[in-house]
Amino acid sequence: MTVQRWVAFAAVAFLCACNPQVPRDAASLAPSPTPTASAPLSLKITGSGTEKQPVRIVQQRGNGKQYELLARSFVSQGAPGSARATFKNPHVTFYGKDGSTMIADAPRGIVDQDSDLVELQGGVNAHNSSGMALQCDTLTYDRATEMFHGTGHVVITEQNGFHATGQRVDSDITLTHTQMQ
């Protein structure tokens, strides 16, 4: 084969490769199907801190903090924006709109983004900036209403000797707007 014939053959082969055949059936002319939505992304994230540098989560409300959570470790699972995180030995400072605070400690804590709840479990010890103390088995903070709901062996005490017990309490951070059962 001469060089000229080889070049001509290569050119024809190249042009045929660049010009695919038209489909023969009408079904192949239909547009390709729209991609279907895939399952939402679900992430599992774990983290740990130290005594001097714990895991730190800050929830903002406008220009101020709603709460700050410090913990030894955490596991978060779920889609971004709707995850549920579990914390070991959380120490949480809740901030009221009026500048008051409540500090709570528990063996376990859960932050659920879907329900907008922070739940402390396993025996909660808390006190607020006015000196009132709260103890209960479980304490749930509702971010939307900024109210606490405590259940199980609830005890509220004040420095002046006030002492109340019950099985359930609903209150604000100051523990002054309280209903106890």
What is the mean pLDDT of the segment spanning 22-32? Answer: 53
Asked whether 149 and 126 are in contact (CB, 8 A), the reply is no
82: which 2 tokens?
């709707």
Residue 101 to residue 90: CA distance in whole angstroms: 16
Domains of the chain: 43-180 (2.60.450.10)
Mean pLDDT of the chain: 83
Residue 175 to residue 111: CA distance in whole angstroms: 22
pLDDT in tens, 38-54: 666 788 889 998 888 99
What is the mean pLDDT of the segment spanning 66-82? Answer: 91
Confidence grade of residue 122 (pLDDT, cut at 50, 70, 90): very high
Could you say which DSSP state residue 42 is in?
-
What is the mean pLDDT of the segment spanning 106-128? Answer: 96
Q: Which amino acid is at 18?
A: C
What is the mean pLDDT of the segment spanning 5-20? Answer: 40
What are the two backbone dihedrals, phi and then psi, of residue 50, each rounded to the nearest 5 degrees? -125, 175
